[in-house]
Amino acid sequence: VMLDLKRRREDVRAFVAALEQWIIGTLAAFNVRGERREDRVGVWVVRPDRPALPDGSPAEDKIAAIGIRLRRWVSFHGIAINVEPDLDHFSGIVPCGVQDHGVTSLVDLGLPLTMADLDLALKSAFEDVFGPATALPVEAERKAG
């Protein structure tokens, strides 16, 4: 995701929250309830099919990660929604330092989606959070024009 935050709002936390909201809106298109957590970046799904945690809270898995870089208030990188990764790859690591929760994917939740399906939902949900998308001219196009 490459956005000029000077045109929107120069607030990193608000931008991360907006990315999370975009993911939540995208997941809703597939009847998946994604949730934001104040103490954890990313988007989470409650797993009632799994045992509760020792403190009694419901099991949750991370379904989407966020990693951004800003340069002069222009964002680089962005989001990763787990569509169909090999979840065994996460068994030996602690994603984002969160030990009590696992990782899931859309396929793991029983939704055999493709990247094309997800791309359409992302495009559809984008304007609800960020407003109309505008393309910036590519350097080569500027030189040719």
Question: Known catalytic residues?
Answer: 96
**CA-based nearest residue to 105, from 51, 43, 18:** 43
What angle is formed at CA 75 by the lines to CA 34 and CA 82, rounded to 5 degrees?
Answer: 30
Q: Tell me which DSSP letter residue 4 carries.
A: B
Q: What is the C-alpha to C-alpha distance for residues 73 and 80, in angstroms, rounded to an integer? A: 21
Name the residue with tokens 């001219």: 137
In 3-state terms, what secondary structure has residue 111? coil
